[in-house]
């Protein structure tokens, strides 16, 4: 009997939306099953997309024709390129969004996607096929939905529990029920389940904030879109504000720690290291007497303000006293108190690099269920899981995988499936060892052709990408080939050593004192380049010396990354591996030699022994490049 759908996606958050849209773009008959269709694309926490590291992920999702960048541009009300004064590799595009407009944009994009059906309902059970894989989803309404592959993007809903002081409430997020049946169904698969915690700050009434006493933070003018498909931003832009906690704030918090769930033992799950609660900051950084708070309006016609930096689960009365102790917020009214939420997640080391569960064929997991935090991390996983689920449902066996050398999304997935998590995982530029090459500005040049091969990139983006890529290739080829003498360059106002050695255009562009007027006098064709092409050329010139030195290292690393480890390899039978190394590798089951090198505790000597075994004992088909 045939399946009702090729792919079913459970959950309509950022991971679910991208997974469903990606699977459908790949041609799979796809169902998106969600509790409430009107909350598809909900920004459950902060009203922003992107940032340092996270902005790279948004651009990569966009390069693969995902939704997040386009939705953020349609809803964006405050844009900022973070780290603008630093090199292009670590600049982070960020957009603050109108929550209602973002929801609308995601819902419009989903409803316009061919092959995609949206259905309200709760997944309560899973039906196994004879091979142990997933055959169907069982809903709380008694419906059986057959599927070729299933993507679970449960977010914080799996046995989710809200903590607000001593108050405890089963919930997936504010206003939505927890998912207990699905949590039990996943537990019945004998998968490794752990608990994590995240949180959110109180929401404030912007009409009661003293904006005159707060430092104003305007956005960039003009705003830079997150999606390459966006011509310009048309929404009116808002101004944000910055304030900070005070010694009085910290004294109030310290006096209330005996009522803070994260210190009373009420919460067991580990919280995010890089976005801790305000009570955690006060304890961990006791030497500091202030912590910055960004006041972010949540919409053009919405008075709600998100105070970014004071996530908390303190009791209601303490939250009110804390807010009143902060400059500019003395009379601010709380519209909704902050809270922490504790939830189940599955150890991502149980997944293949395709995000398919090793022990349950055709079951894919994406988003916070894998131990990550953040919309952007969820979206990247969702897109990759959707592409792989569609491929698997059609009978494909070769996984759709991005390497660490190719994308931040590759770093994200490799970190998860190789190392697992002990706290909610957040993307940082420091996690990417190849960040000079993996820039936000060149995501399309890196990944769109890959998306075309996978079938997840539509014709409009394909045509624009190929025209742009051709223009870049032509400009780079000319800039590398065309030269000028030191005398000619000096005559144009470009200071170079008069050593008689001609310089290429790319070499001249890399000079610190090479301003645009002098460059264009020496090489007039530069002024005719489109702005985007010119910017890419300048960035390439800036990084060319560094990238050239790394080229050989990258080539060697990629060969190592791609040396595949068969799934059934017996690590205990490999000569030269200690008992500890065998245990660590057997537990992690890395897919490649490069991934094995990132298993915590695995030594270089163990990698040499493993590589030797693969090259000696495995056939080219089994130990070749992935």
Binding-site residues for NAD(+) sit at: 271-285
Binding site residues for FAD, as ranges?
A: 11-16
CA–CA distance from 532 to each of 231, 514, 528 (Å)?
12, 19, 12
Describe the strand order of the beta sheet including 334-336 as a list of residue ranges.
Answer: 215-217, 240-244, 292-297, 304-308, 203-205, 334-336
Count helices and strands (H / E) in the chain.
21, 22
Contact indicator for 42, 49 with CB cutoff of 8 Å: no
Of 214, 204, 268, 260, nearest to 241 by C-alpha is 214
CA distance 346 to 541: 44
CB atoms within 10 A of CB 291: 18
Residues near 512 by beta carbon (within 8 Å), at least 6 away in sequence = none
CA distance 447 to 33: 29
CA distance 221 to 80: 9
CA distance 281 to 432: 26
Binding site residues, as ranges?
A: 11-16, 271-285
Strands (E), 438-519: 483-484, 503-504
Residue 164, φ and ψ in degrees, nearest 5: -135, 95
Counted residue by residue, the chain has a size of 626
Strands (E), 485-623: 503-504
Q: Where are the alpha helices (DSSP H) in 188-338?
A: 247-255, 261-264, 278-284, 316-324
Instruction: Identify the sign of the CA torsion 546, 551, 554, 556.
Output: negative
Residues near 390 by beta carbon (within 8 Å), at least 6 away in sequence = 6, 7, 22, 23, 24, 26, 27, 28, 30, 149, 455
CA distance 608 to 617: 14
């Amino acid at each position: 009997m045939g399946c009702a759908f090729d792919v079913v996606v459970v959950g309509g958050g950022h991971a679910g939306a991208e997974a469903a849209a990606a699977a459908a773009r790949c041609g799979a008959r796809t169902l998106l099953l969600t509790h409430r269709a009107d909350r598809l694309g909900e920004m459950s926490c902060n009203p922003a997309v992107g940032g340092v590291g996270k902005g790279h992920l948004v651009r990569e999702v966009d390069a693969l024709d995902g939704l997040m960048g386009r939705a953020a541009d349609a809803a964006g009300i405050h844009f900022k390129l973070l780290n603008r004064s630093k090199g292009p590799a670590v600049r982070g595009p960020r957009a603050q969004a109108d929550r209602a407009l973002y929801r609308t944009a995601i819902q419009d994009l989903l409803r316009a996607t061919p092959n995609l059906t949206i259905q309200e309902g709760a997944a309560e059970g899973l039906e196994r096929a004879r091979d142990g894989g997933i055959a169907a989803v069982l809903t709380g309404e008694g419906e059986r939905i057959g599927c070729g592959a299933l993507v679970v993007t449960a977010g914080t809903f799996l046995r989710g529990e809200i903590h607000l002081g001593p108050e405890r409430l089963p919930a997936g997020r504010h206003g939505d029920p927890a998912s207990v049946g699905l949590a039990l169904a996943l537990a019945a698969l004998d998968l490794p389940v752990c608990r994590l915690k995240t949180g959110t700050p109180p929401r404030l009434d912007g009409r009661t904030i003293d904006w005159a006493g707060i430092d104003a933070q305007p956005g960039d003018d003009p705003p830079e879109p997150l999606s390459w498909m966006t011509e310009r931003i048309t929404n009116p832009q808002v101004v944000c504000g910055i304030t900070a906690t005070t010694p009085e704030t910290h004294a109030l918090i310290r006096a209330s720690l005996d009522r803070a769930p994260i210190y009373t033992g009420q919460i067991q799950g580990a919280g995010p290291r890089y976005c801790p609660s305000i009570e955690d900051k006060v304890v961990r950084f006791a030497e500091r007497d202030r912590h910055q708070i960004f006041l972010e309006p949540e919409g053009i016609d919405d008075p709600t303000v998100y105070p970014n930096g004071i996530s908390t689960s303190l009791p209601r009365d303490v939250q009110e006293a804390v807010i009143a102790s902060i400059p500019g917020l003395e009379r601010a009214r709380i519209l909704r108190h902050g809270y922490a939420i504790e939830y189940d997640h599955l150890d991502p080391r149980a997944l293949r690099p395709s995000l398919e569960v090793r022990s349950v064929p055709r079951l894919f997991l994406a988003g916070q269920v894998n131990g990550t935090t953040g919309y952007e991390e969820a979206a990247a996983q969702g897109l990759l899981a959707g592409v792989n689920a569609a491929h698997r449902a059609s009978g494909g066996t070769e996984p759709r995988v991005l390497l660490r050398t190719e994308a931040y999304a590759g770093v994200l997935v490799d970190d998860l499936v190789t190392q697992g998590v002990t706290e909610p995982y957040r993307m940082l530029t420091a996690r990417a060892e190849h960040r000079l090459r993996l820039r936000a500005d060149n995501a399309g040049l890196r990944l769109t052709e890959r998306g075309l091969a996978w079938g997840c990139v539509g014709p409009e983006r394909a045509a624009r990408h190929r025209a742009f890529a051709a223009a870049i290739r032509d400009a780079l080829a000319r800039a590398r080939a065309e030269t000028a003498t030191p005398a000619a360059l000096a005559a144009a106002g470009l200071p170079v050593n008069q050593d008689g050695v001609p310089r290429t255009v790319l070499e001249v562009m890399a000079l610190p004192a090479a301003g645009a007027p002098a460059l264009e006098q020496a090489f007039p064709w530069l002024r005719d380049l489109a702005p985007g092409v010119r910017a890419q050329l300048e960035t390439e010139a800036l990084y060319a010396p560094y990238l050239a030195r790394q080229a050989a290292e990258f080539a060697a690393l990629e060969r190592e990354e791609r040396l595949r480890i068969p799934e059934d390899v017996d690590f205990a039978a490999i000569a030269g591996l200690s008992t500890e190394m065998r245990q660590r590798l057997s537990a992690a089951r890395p897919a490649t030699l490069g991934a094995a090198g990132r298993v915590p505790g695995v030594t270089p000597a163990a990698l040499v022994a493993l590589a030797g075994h693969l090259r000696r004992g495995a056939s080219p088909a089994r130990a070749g490049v992935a």
